[in-house]
Amino acid sequence: MGVMDGNPKKEPMHYGEVIGVWAFIGSNNGLISGYEAFASHAGDDELIKLLHEAIKMMQAENKELEKTLKKNGIVPPPSLPGRPKVKTDEIPAGAKFMDPEISAAVSLNVGQGLVSCSEVMGQCIREDIAMMFEKYHSERALFGFKLLRLNKEKGWVIPPPLHMNS
């Protein structure tokens, strides 16, 4: 393996890159499981579609990142088993997440994901890994815009006090 020889794929990962990639995969695994559950609870078709889009996005990220870890001799974190499909009307009302709750949680996760991507990009020495996280950052930002639009259309956004110039 060359060190700083101009070919980033031949450079070893440093500890910060390793833990950044490993933790990102682990976080995605938890979110995928949670979003599968949210998809069973959700009633709004557009929200369900966005949940499935987010799941596919994170699964693709994990596949690419796991390949990178394995090429560098690092075992990726274990994935969680898939959740069984449940009909939303089979979930008792008191145990069921409501669409605005689901959307608020996913919106929070989008913001956290943007910060996580930026953090890994900022500590990278390997350009290929930094570029992967730049791509994930862009995908999350686009997804966040779609989710924000849905939140506004459905009236799920609770704005803070607005400053109005009079």
CATH 3.30.1780.10 fits 10-154, yes or no: no
Q: What pTM, to 2 d.p., does this model score?
A: 0.91
Evaluate if residue 6 carries a pLDDT over 50. Answer: yes
How do residues 26-64 score in pLDDT, each as one tens digit? 999 999 999 999 999 999 999 999 999 999 999 999 999
| Separation of alpha carbons 92 and 88, rounded Å | 9
* Structure-block tokens of residue 123: 């500590």
CA atoms within 13 A on the CB side of 112: 11
Angle between helical axes of 45-71 and 15-41 (0-180°, round to 10): 150
Evaluate if residue 128 carries a pLDDT over 50. Answer: yes
Alpha helices in the chain (DSSP H): 15-41, 45-71, 99-123, 127-154
For tokens 């390997």, name the residue.
126
| Separation of alpha carbons 105 and 132, rounded Å | 25
15, 70 contact by CB (below 8 A): no
